[in-house]
């Protein structure tokens, strides 16, 4: 091989690696992106059962029911609609009624939500960002900081 | 004063340190290339070492030496080229400029920004020193008590003492915790139970919740003469919509109270609200009498808030039955707004405008008030 | 008064930093020795001032001076002293001050240890450092001043977030910042090289110790953070692909690439332009990380109290430095002469492959982290890119790199012999496969891929040892000769081997724990037994306990194996009094490299409690590997050759010869 050919081979190798990487990234995106919904968005949107989504909002007051073992069901609301959620596992320490929460999982054909992860944040004043934005739009919640200013 | 001296000294020291290199008469150095050469010479030695230890072959070593040699030559050439330009540097007028920059910039930037941002008048306030000499500062006294309780969490008397103080300073969660601990450690007493109940009620904006009601009922069971607890039990009945029972309870309180008690007016108000015969003389609708105000002033801040809320609600109820009262509507809108209940204020405004259309004289007064109070007029057709 | 002196020292640092940003740079352009001499002494002074300021704030925390708003917001008089002190950087303002302190510490170290640098280069580097310092001093003073006072002072503080009341906080941020901010030195060297228009192999050698130091600390910081999250959060996870974790991981990946490309540049004077770009890129990613954490644009577990003005300010700093650096790069880089040709199969070639894969995977992580943000800004749609994305894309990209790692050091510079390297490694590869499957068999179950993954880990570990083995000539030469050569190998060779070995250990841990981990969630009542990972746990009941500033419910478990009690463990749920905030304190038992992780859930109505128990086989390998990498970094850093120009360089080899027993 001449020097030129060698260089071409190296460049071709590099480019094909990058192309492969791009393909992998696109494939991974198509597999694992989860869209975020608030309950009233979810009522309007067409989400087919089985698609992974994130559902955020406030835990509805008085809706938390503990089943046997570590089964829990509760409702997530944004002041308008509310969606029933079932979850098996240990809830985060800061999971409380009336507090913001983000759950990830899939819808059942009956439009109930089966969550496999539940996030509540690590600071009692902290509201998950998507939830805060969504609730602000709907006028349910005000940033305590903004309110005092 | 000491502070300013320290700050001045600090500035002076920094300025002196920065000026020092400018003052030293220094020969301009032939920098750069020499140091690069040191690296390459070291690389050459390294190749010799690797070769002698058999880490690389003789041919590889020769190639590498040749490469490093080329690098050495390259920087040698560069240093020749730059030699001429290097010499021109000298401690000329430029340094006077640099000197004045340092002498000006440090105090000017330092002082201006510090005066803008700092608090030169405030002394340090380590907590230990403050606790040793708390004076009349309630917060410090509380902190002192908290420290004591953190070390002796089973001191029931301490919790008992602290709980009402927490309540008065609006630290409701702490108050609840303190009451519960006092009850757990010292046992139930009507005062503690009533205090706990009141804390819970205050925490829910005046709603007598089930556990609050339970606490009040136990307090009454322990001591029938605890009027505070009885009042809240009655209030709970009223809020639950059990009007006849509430009426009976309020009337019983009125009967059992000593004449001239501070709560007489409040109880009378509730008796009236629940459909009983008003105890006091009839007044203009919605205007609190002088007695009511006097009673309100004797109540604690929370009680007062609650009493005001109660009066506003009863005004709203009366206006619902008899909407033809422009003064009432005006007062209701204003009260809601003052209480921070903007939504209710808006509602009241709309309802009021149904009776007094915006085109009329009274309607215009309502709108003017709304504008003055900064209420949103959205959705209201002019 | 102490606090106000600290505040003034910070303001004075700004003035000093401003002077340092300008004067030495002018000096370097005009070859004016006096102005250039201002840089080192000024940098040391600057460090002194910021340290004074930091000490004043620390003092305020130590004595609980609640007249300082920052102390009031993040401390409590009843906290143990160690948490009061680490609380200094457990909040936005204080941690920015720590960031700054470390930045000026690095400047001061360049000033002190950089005596072998050309004066003009050193002056320019320190000036660029001072620009960064000025920007962050302005940021701290104008938007996040930790010295804001309260009058009258409150009586009690609002307590530190309980999650942060942990020894992890004392260690994790300082280490992480030493890494993050350490890359600023590489950045400054790159900018200085572009300004001076001169860059050569010597430059690479001067930058290398700083890259190595920053990389080593960042490795330690990330590993420490991961372990902290693992034991403190009570979810048993050790890496979440959280945006903020990614923010620290991206500079690490880019820094690793930089470390390797600087090697090529130093030896062969090739990849010059690329190395400069990497140096800029690495610190840009550090700045990006700072922006992501502080501005609150992304949802993350690392929720600092956020404030829009801060986000805007940091974005401005970010755009100034990144934009400015790339503009300068676009302008000056074409003037830099490139040099050094090499064959694809050579040490350089292997290092280029390393760089290619590392940069592409950095880009992958960057895309995954920023894509939701970009999409939301453009379309308003909210999405989340979770762990599956990163595991798939990043994981796949890493495999070829991991396979290639053992080959690199065995290839010669310039023209390598792949066949020779293959021949040397086939034994290693065979052994690794066997070891991988043996471990797989011992642990049972799991997909076949896991066996290959384990083999990969062993391949990396044994490959690193093989490198040393062949270099010393064991097996070819007499043992005594080979051993003498082994001892004579440069420290950097040991550093490389250790780092690659550590990588293997980490890979082993990751594969083992993801494949063989078991999770058991059960409701337990007092006296009940559950069997996990071959151990049986008896729940002995709950007990109340009181700590200095919290109360807790502690569950006690007796652990036995084959009927013999081997250990016992406490696991608890705490409530921190001041914030009334609950936390879960997991009980962790270590058996060799494996751990049993017990975490309490919610109490049930019938008196039982939900208990979550993980068996985490080989998990300590993950952080143990990082520890080995870190040791490798330090060993490499101690290499004599990185101190070229230091006076003692001639004395050393002689001494080593005279004391062979050493």
pLDDT in tens, C232-288: 877 778 888 888 889 899 999 999 999 999 988 888 878 888 999 999 999 999 999
Most confident by average pLDDT, B279-283, B315-319, C144-148, C372-376 = C144-148
Instruction: Count interface pairs B-C at CB distance under 8 A.
Output: 222
- Pull the structure tokens for residue C365: 């992580």
Q: Which of B33-42, C12-21, C68-77, C332-341 tops mean pLDDT?
A: C12-21
- Give the predicted TM-score (pTM) of the model: 0.79
pLDDT at C654: 34
- Structural contact between residues C619 and C500, judged by C-beta atoms closer than 8 angstroms: no
User: What is the distance between the alpha carbons of residues C389 and C392, in angstroms, rounded to a whole number?
Assistant: 5
C27-56 residues touching B, CB cutoff 8 A? 30-38, 41-42, 45, 49
Supply the pLDDT for residue C224.
93
Query: What are the chain C neighbours of A68 within 8 Å (beta carbons)?
Result: 523
Tell if the CB–CB gap between C16 and B18 is shorter than 8 Å: yes
- A120 cis-preceded (ω within 30 degrees of 0): no
Residues C495 and C639 sit within 8 Å (Cβ to Cβ): yes
Q: Does C202 sit within 8 Å of B40, measured CB to CB? A: yes
Classify C305 as helix, strand or coil. coil
A42 token code pair = 């979810």
pLDDT over threshold 60, residue B291: no
CB proximity B64 to C under 8 Å:
yes
| CB within 8 Å: A93 and C234 | yes
For residues C461-487, average pLDDT:
85
- To the nearest whole number, what is the mean pLDDT of chain C? 85
Which pLDDT band, with edges at 50, 70 and 90, does B30 fall under?
very low
Q: What is the 3-state secondary structure (H, E, C) of A53-109?
A: EEEEEEECCCCCEECCCCEEEEEEECCCCEEEEEEECCCCCCCCCCCEEEEEEEECC
Please list every residue in chain B whose beta carbon sits closer than 8 Å to the beta carbon of residue C577. Answer: 150
CA distance C115 to chain B (A): 10
What value does the mean pLDDT take over residues B370-375? 73
Q: Within an 8 Å CB–CB cutoff, is residue B81 touching chain C? A: no
With the C-alpha atoms ordered C311, C316, C320, C323, is the resulting torsion angle positive or negative?
A: positive
Closest by alpha carbon to C429, among C410, C411, C407? Answer: C407
Query: Best of A28, A40, A53, A73 to disrupt the C interface by mutation (most C CBs within 10 Å)?
Result: A28
Say yes or no for a CB contact (<8 Å) between C41 and B21. Answer: yes
Interchain contact C569–B (C-beta under 8 A)? no
As a whole number of angstroms, the distance between CA B198 and CA B172 comes to 10
Which stretch of B22-31, B319-328, C339-348 has the lowest confidence by average pLDDT?
B22-31
> Is C623's pLDDT higher than 70?
yes
From CA B37, how far away is CA B60, in angstroms rounded? 21
Which of B173, B257, B224 lies closest to B233 in space, CA to CA?
B224
* CB contact at 8 A, C20 and C166: no
pLDDT single digits (tens) B237-257: 888 788 888 888 888 888 887
Region of B187 please: left (phi>0), alpha (psi -120 to 50) or beta: left
Chain B contact for C138, CB < 8 A? Answer: no
When comparing pLDDT for C440 and C117, which is higher? C117
Q: How far is CA C492 from the centre of its chain?
A: 20
Please enumerate in sequence order all residues whose Cβ is within 8 A of that of C427, keeping only pairs 6 or more positions apart, or say none: none
Which residues 2-61 of B have a C-beta within 8 angstroms of C? 2-3, 6-7, 10-11, 14, 17-18, 20-22, 24, 26-29, 31-36, 38-40, 42-43, 46, 49, 53-56, 60
Looking at the predicted complex, does its ipTM rise above 0.90? no
How confident is the model over C55-93, as pLDDT tens digits? 999 999 999 999 999 999 889 888 889 999 999 998 889
**Which chain A residue has its CA at the smallest distance from C392's CA?**
A28
Q: Where are the beta strands (DSSP E) in C534-649?
A: 535-546, 550-561, 564-576, 581-585, 587-591, 594-603, 609-616
Nearest to A62 by CA among A43, A77, A41: A77
With bands split at pLDDT 50, 70 and 90, how would you rate the model's confidence at B378?
low
Give the three-state DSSP class for B214.
helix
> Is residue C618 classed as helix, strand or coil in its secondary structure?
coil
**Window C:297-336, CB contacts with A under 8 Å:** 298-299, 301, 303, 305
CA pseudo-torsion sign C453, C459, C464, C467: negative
> Are residues C468 and C497 in contact, defined by beta-carbon separation less than 8 angstroms?
yes
> CB under 8 Å to C95, separation ≥6 — which residues?
C89, C173, C177
Q: Kindly determine whether residue C37 and residue B31, on different chains, have CB atoms separated by under 8 Å.
A: no
- Residue A144: pLDDT band (50, 70, 90) is very low
pLDDT level of residue C44 (50, 70, 90 thresholds):
very high
Q: Tell me how long chain A is.
A: 149
Instruction: Please answer whether residues C520 and C532 qualify as being in contact, where contact means their C-beta atoms are separated by less than 8 angstroms.
Output: yes
The shortest C-alpha distance from C160 to chain B (Å) reads 17
Of B39, B101, B126, Cβ closest to residue C23: B101
Give the pLDDT score at B287: 47
**Using CB atoms and an 8 Å cut-off, which of residues 342-371 of chain C contact chain A?**
343-344, 349, 356-357, 360-361, 363-364, 367-368, 371
Four-CA torsion C344, C349, C352, C358, nearest 10 degrees: 100
Compute the distance between CA of residue C639 and CA of residue C217 in angstroms, rounded to an integer.
Answer: 17
The chains found to touch C (3+ Cβ pairs under 8 angstroms) are A, B
In the block, tokens 């059960």 appear at C522
Q: How many CB atoms lie within 10 A of CB B17?
A: 17
The residue in chain B having the minimum alpha-carbon distance to the alpha carbon of residue C5 is B7
Q: Which residues contact C581 (CB under 8 A, 6 or more apart)?
A: A93, A94, A124, C161, C162, C575
d(CA B228, CA B216): 9
Could you give the C-alpha distances from C206 to C24, C189, C319, in angstroms and in order?
20, 9, 27
| Beta carbons of B7 and C116 less than 8 Å apart | no
In this structure, is the dihedral angle defined by the CA atoms of residues B322, B323, B325 and B327, taken in order, positive or negative? positive
- Tell which of C9, C16, C111, C490 to mutate to test the B interface (max B CBs under 10 Å): C16
Rounded Cα distance between C91 and C495, Å, is: 36
Average pLDDT over residues B46-50: 77
**Is the pLDDT score of B289 beyond 80?**
no
Environment class of B63 (CB within 10 Å of its CB; exposed 0-12, middle 13-18, buried 19+)? middle
What is the band of B26 on the pLDDT scale with cuts at 50, 70, 90? low
- What are the structure tokens assigned to A117, written together? 């992860």
Tokens found for residue B179: 């009451």
Sequence-distant (6+) residues with CB within 8 A of C178 are C102, C213, C214, C217, C218, C221
Residues of C in contact with A69 (CB under 8 A): 521-523, 610
């Amino acid at each position: 091989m001449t020097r030129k050919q060698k260089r071409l081979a190296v460049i071709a190798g590099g480019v094909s690696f990058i192309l492969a990487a791009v393909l992998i990234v696109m494939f991974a995106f198509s597999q694992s992106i989860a869209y975020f919904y608030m309950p009233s968005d979810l009522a309007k949107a067409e989400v087919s059962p089985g698609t992974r989504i994130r559902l955020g909002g406030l835990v509805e007051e008085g809706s938390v029911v503990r089943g046997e073992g570590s089964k829990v069901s509760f409702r997530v609301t944004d002041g308008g609609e509310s969606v029933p959620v079932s979850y098996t596992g240990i809830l985060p320490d800061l999971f409380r009624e009336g507090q913001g929460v983000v759950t990830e999982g899939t819808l059942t054909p009956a439009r109930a939500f089966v969550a496999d992860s539940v996030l509540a944040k690590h600071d009692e004043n902290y509201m998950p960002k998507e939830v805060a934005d969504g609730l602000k739009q709907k006028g349910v919640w005000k940033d305590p900081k903004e309110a005092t200013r | 004063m000491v502070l300013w001296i320290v700050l001045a000294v600090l500035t002076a020291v920094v300025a002196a340190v920065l000026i020092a290199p400018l003052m030293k008469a220094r020969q301009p150095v032939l920098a750069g290339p020499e140091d690069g050469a040191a690296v390459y010479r070291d690389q050459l030695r390294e190749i010799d070492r690797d070769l002698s230890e058999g880490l690389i072959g003789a041919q590889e070593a020769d190639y590498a030496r040749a490469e490093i040699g080329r690098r050495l030559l390259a920087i040698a050439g560069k240093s020749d080229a730059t030699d001429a330009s290097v010499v021109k540097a000298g401690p000329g007028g430029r340094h006077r400029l640099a000197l004045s920059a340092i002498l000006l910039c440090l105090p000017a930037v330092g002082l201006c920004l510090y005066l803008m941002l700092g608090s030169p008048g405030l002394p340090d306030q380590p907590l230990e020193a403050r606790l040793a000499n708390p004076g009349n500062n309630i917060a410090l006294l509380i902190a002192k008590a908290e420290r004591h309780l953190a070390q002796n969490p089973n001191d029931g008397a301490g919790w008992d003492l602290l709980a009402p103080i927490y309540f008065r300073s609006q630290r409701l969660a702490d108050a609840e915790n303190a009451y519960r601990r006092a009850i757990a450690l010292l046992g139930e007493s009507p005062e503690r139970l009533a205090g706990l109940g009141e804390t819970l009620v205050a925490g829910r904006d005046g709603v007598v919740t089930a556990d609050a009601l339970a606490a009040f009922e136990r307090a009454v069971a322990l001591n029938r003469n605890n009027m505070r607890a009885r009042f809240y039990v009655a209030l709970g009945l009223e809020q639950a919509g059990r009007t006849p029972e509430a009426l009976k309870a309020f009337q019983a309180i009125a009967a059992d109270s000593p004449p001239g008690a501070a709560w007489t007016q409040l109880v009378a108000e509730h008796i009236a609200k629940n459909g009983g015969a008003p105890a006091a003389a009839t007044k203009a609708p919605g205007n609190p009498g002088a007695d009511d105000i006097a009673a309100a002033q004797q109540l604690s801040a929370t009680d007062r808030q609650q009493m005001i809320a109660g009066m506003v609600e009863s005004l709203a109820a009366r206006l619902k039955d008899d909407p033809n009262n422009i003064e009432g509507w005006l007062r209701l809108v204003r009260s809601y707004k003052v209480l921070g209940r903007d939504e209710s204020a808006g509602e009241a405004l709309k309802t009021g405008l149904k009776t007094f259309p915006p085109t009329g004289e009274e309607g215009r007064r309502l709108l003017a008030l709304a504008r003055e109070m900064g209420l949103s007029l959205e959705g209201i057709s002019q | 008064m102490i606090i106000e002196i600290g505040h003034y020292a910070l303001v004075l640092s700004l003035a000093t930093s401003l002077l340092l940003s300008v004067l030495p740079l002018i000096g370097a352009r005009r070859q004016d020795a006096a102005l250039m001499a201002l840089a080192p002494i000024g940098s040391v002074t600057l460090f002194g001032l910021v340290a004074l300021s930091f000490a004043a704030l620390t003092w305020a925390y130590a004595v609980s001076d609640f007249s300082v708003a920052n102390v009031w917001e993040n401390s409590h008089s009843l906290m143990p002293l160690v948490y009061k002190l680490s609380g200094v950087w457990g909040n936005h303002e204080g941690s920015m001050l720590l960031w700054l302190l470390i930045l000026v510490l690095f400047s001061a170290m360049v000033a002190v240890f950089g005596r072998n640098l050309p004066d003009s280069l050193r002056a320019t580097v320190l000036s660029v450092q001072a620009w960064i310092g000025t920007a962050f001093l302005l940021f701290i003073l104008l938007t996040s001043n930790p010295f804001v006072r309260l009058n009258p002072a409150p009586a009690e503080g609002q307590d530190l977030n309980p999650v942060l009341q942990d020894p992890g906080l004392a260690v994790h941020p300082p280490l992480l910042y030493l890494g993050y901010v350490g890359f600023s030195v590489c950045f400054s060297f790159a900018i200085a090289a572009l300004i001076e228009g001169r860059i050569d192999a010597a430059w690479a050698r001067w930058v290398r110790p700083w890259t190595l130091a920053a990389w080593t600390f960042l490795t330690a910081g990330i590993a420490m953070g991961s372990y902290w999250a693992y034991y403190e959060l009570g979810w048993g996870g050790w890496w979440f692909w959280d945006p903020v974790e990614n923010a620290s991981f991206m500079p690490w990946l880019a820094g690793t690439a930089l470390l390797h490309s600087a090697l090529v540049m130093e030896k062969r004077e090739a990849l010059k332009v690329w190395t400069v770009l990497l140096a800029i890129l690495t610190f840009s990613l550090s700045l990006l990380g700072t922006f992501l954490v502080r501005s609150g644009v992304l949802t993350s577990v690392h929720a600092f109290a956020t404030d829009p003005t801060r986000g805007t300010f940091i974005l401005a700093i970010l755009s100034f430095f990144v934009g400015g650096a790339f503009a300068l790069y676009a302008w000056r880089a074409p003037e830099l002469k490139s040099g050094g040709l090499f064959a694809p199969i050579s040490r350089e070639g292997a290092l280029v492959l390393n760089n290619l894969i590392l940069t592409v995977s950095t880009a992958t992580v960057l895309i995954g982290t920023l894509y939701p943000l970009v999409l939301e800004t453009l379309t308003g749609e909210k999405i989340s890119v979770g762990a599956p994305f990163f595991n798939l894309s990043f994981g796949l990209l890493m495999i070829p790199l991991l396979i290639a790692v053992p080959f690199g050091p065995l290839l010669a510079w310039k023209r390598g012999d792949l066949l020779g390297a293959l021949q040397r490694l086939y034994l290693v590869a065979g052994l690794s496969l066997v070891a991988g499957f043996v471990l797989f068999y011992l642990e049972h179950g799991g997909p076949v891929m896991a066996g290959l993954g384990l083999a990969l880990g062993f391949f990396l570990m044994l490959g690193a040892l093989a490198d040393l083995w062949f270099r010393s000539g064991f097996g070819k030469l007499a043992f005594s000769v080979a051993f003498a050569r082994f001892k004579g190998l440069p420290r950097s060779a040991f550093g490389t081997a250790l780092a690659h070995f550590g990588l293997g250990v980490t890979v082993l841990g990751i594969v083992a724990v993801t494949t063989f981990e078991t999770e058991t969630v059960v409701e337990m009542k007092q006296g009940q037994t559950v069997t996990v990972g071959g151990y049986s746990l008896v729940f002995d009941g709950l007990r109340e306990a009181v700590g200095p500033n919290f109360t807790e419910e502690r569950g006690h478990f007796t652990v036995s194996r084959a009927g013999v009690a081997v250990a016992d463990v406490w696991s608890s749920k705490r409530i921190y009094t001041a914030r009334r905030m609950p936390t879960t304190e997991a009980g962790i038992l270590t058996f060799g490299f494996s751990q049993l992780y017990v975490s309490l859930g919610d109490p049930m109505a019938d008196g039982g409690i939900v208990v979550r128990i993980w068996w985490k086989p080989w998990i300590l390998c993950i952080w143990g590997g990082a520890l080995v990498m870190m040791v490798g970094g330090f060993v490499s850093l101690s290499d004599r050759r990185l101190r070229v120009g230091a006076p003692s360089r001639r004395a050393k080899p002689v001494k080593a010869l005279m004391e062979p027993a050493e």
